[in-house]
């Protein structure tokens, strides 16, 4: 919708909304740019403190996905008139706990009365303009690494229906409350040839992979056997706990996918599962992939190499078993 409006021409915009990237990047000094993003949503778990943690983890993720460091955050709150204010306090406390972990200072916010609770943050980070990691720049020959398992969308849907097993909930919550901070720091410390990066969120793995391939003018090959799935994810698909967003994602993006080997319908669906606070999708020189994987895995980050970048062909994404 923003794209339909008149453009503002500002040479300091390094990454704007027309790139379909994770966050906006705006240069304020020769060596410094702001990374800005906003995200908020309705509760996806019953516990208010945990919901606050998830909302914060999710909002911070786009700053890490651009190679930035979060600095400040503003809370966005929609809360019902009649609801218990203690609940709101728990949500904010959960969010704050993750902001503290991120070293990001909450400096204000805004709340309105609304029939349905919604919570999230606008986050501002900083980045050296030369170190911005956009979704453009992936090169043929690169390895693709994903740092979290898929399945938070279908498991959240099962949670809402009261049908998720405790171990599924625990694993999904652990994933959704794990900051991408540590993975991003490892990436920076290792001094690797990272060419492109994004995080896997609402459009699902294929949706965000599609954006990376379009922005980079390459094709991607994804190997489903290498993609980690959260415990219960396949069971949730089989039982019909399909979020509306999953079907929308599939309707929109499946046309860019060529299934080159038989793939089960459960797995196909999970490739489009909308993720909350999902992992980083990293495209880097294949010679550096093992070094990065070893470092991520030794930090107990469930990272795996899920595919590779190839020269652009007619289909943007090939999926193999």
Q: How far is the CB of 261 from Co ion (least distance, A)?
A: 29
For the chain, give the secondary structure using H, E and C: CHHHCCCCCCCCEEECHHHCCCCEEEEEECCEEEEEEEEEECCCCCCHHHHHHHHHHHHHHHHHHCCCEEEEEEEEEEECCCCCHHHHHHHHHHHHHHHHHHCCEEEEEEEEECCCCEEEEEEEEEECHHHCCCCCCCCCCCEEEECCCECHHHHHHHHHCCCCCHHHHHHHHHHHCCCCHHHHHHHHHCCCCEEEEEECCCCHHHHHHHHHHHHHCEEEEEEHHHCCECCCHHHHHHCCCCCHHHHHHHHHHHHHEEECCCCCHHHHHHCCCCCCCCCEEEEECHHHHHHHHHHHHHCCCCCEEEEEEEECCCCCEEEEC
Q: How far is the CB of 126 from Co ion (least distance, A)?
A: 18
Q: How far is the CB of 203 from Co ion (least distance, A)?
A: 9
Q: How far is the CB of 27 from Co ion (least distance, A)?
A: 20
Q: How far is the CB of 65 from Co ion (least distance, A)?
A: 5
Q: How far is the CB of 271 from Co ion (least distance, A)?
A: 17
Is residue 199 within the footprint of Co ion (CB under 5 A)?
Answer: yes
Q: How far is the CB of 198 from Co ion (least distance, A)?
A: 6
Q: Which is nearer to Co ion, 39 or 273 (CB)?
A: 39
Q: Which is nearer to Co ion, 117 or 201 (CB)?
A: 201
Is residue 22 within the footprint of Co ion (CB under 5 A)?
Answer: yes
Q: Which is nearer to Co ion, 40 or 49 (CB)?
A: 40
The footprint of Co ion on residues 33-72 (CB under 5 A) is 39, 62, 65
Interface with Co ion by CB under 5 A: which range of 107-115, 122-130, 156-164, 195-203? 195-203
How big is the CA angle at 226 (ends 284 and 132), to the nearest 5 degrees? 25
Q: How far is the CB of 94 from Co ion (least distance, A)?
A: 19
Q: Which is nearer to Co ion, 68 or 232 (CB)?
A: 68
CB distance 37 to 123 below 8 Å: yes
Interface with Co ion by CB under 5 A: which range of 31-39, 102-110, 145-153, 159-167? 31-39
Q: Which is nearer to Co ion, 63 or 92 (CB)?
A: 63
Q: Which is nearer to Co ion, 175 or 241 (CB)?
A: 175
Q: Which is nearer to Co ion, 88 or 134 (CB)?
A: 134
> In the numeric block, which tokens belong to residue 173?
């919550």
Interface with Co ion by CB under 5 A: which range of 4-12, 197-205, 229-237, 281-289? 197-205
Is residue 211 within the footprint of Co ion (CB under 5 A)?
Answer: no
> In the numeric block, which tokens belong to residue 73?
């955050």
Q: How many residues bind Co ion (CB under 5 A)?
A: 6
Phi, psi angle pair for 136, to nearest 5°: -90, 150
Q: Which is nearer to Co ion, 122 or 219 (CB)?
A: 122
Chain residue at closest Cβ approach to Co ion? 22
- Under the rule (CB under 5 A), what is the footprint of Co ion? 22, 39, 62, 65, 199, 201
């Amino acid at each position: 919708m923003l794209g339909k409006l008149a453009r503002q021409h500002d040479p300091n915009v390094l990454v704007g909304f027309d790139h379909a990237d994770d966050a906006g990047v705006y240069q304020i000094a020769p060596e410094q740019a702001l990374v800005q993003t906003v995200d908020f949503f309705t509760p996806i778990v019953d516990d208010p403190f945990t919901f606050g943690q998830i909302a914060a983890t999710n909002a911070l993720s786009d700053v890490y996905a651009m190679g930035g460091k979060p600095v400040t955050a503003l809370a966005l709150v929609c809360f019902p008139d009649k609801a218990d204010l203690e609940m709101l306090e728990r949500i904010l406390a959960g969010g704050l706990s993750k902001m503290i972990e991120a070293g990001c200072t909450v400096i204000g916010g805004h709340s309105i009365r609304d029939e349905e609770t919604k919570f999230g943050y606008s986050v501002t980070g900083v980045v050296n303009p030369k170190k911005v990691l956009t979704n453009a720049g992936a090169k043929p020959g690169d390895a693709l690494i994903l740092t979290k398992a898929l399945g938070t969308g279908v498991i959240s849907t099962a949670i809402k229906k009261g049908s998720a097993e405790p171990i599924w909930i625990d694993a999904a919550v652990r994933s959704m409350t794990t900051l991408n901070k540590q993975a991003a720091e490892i990436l920076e410390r290792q001094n690797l040839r990272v060419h492109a990066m994004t995080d896997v969120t609402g459009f699902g793995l294929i949706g965000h992979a599609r954006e990376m391939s379009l922005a980079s003018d390459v094709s991607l090959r994804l190997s489903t056997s290498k993609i980690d799935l959260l415990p219960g994810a396949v069971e949730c698909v089989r039982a019909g706990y399909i979020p509306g967003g999953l079907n929308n994602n599939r309707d929109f993006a499946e046309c860019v996918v060529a299934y080159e080997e038989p793939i089960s319908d459960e797995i196909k669906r999970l490739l489009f599962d909308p993720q909350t606070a999902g992992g980083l999708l990293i495209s880097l020189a294949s010679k550096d992939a093992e070094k990065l994987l070893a470092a991520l895995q030794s930090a107990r980050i469930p990272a795996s190499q899920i595919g590779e970048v190839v020269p652009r062909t007619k289909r943007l994404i090939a999926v193999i078993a």
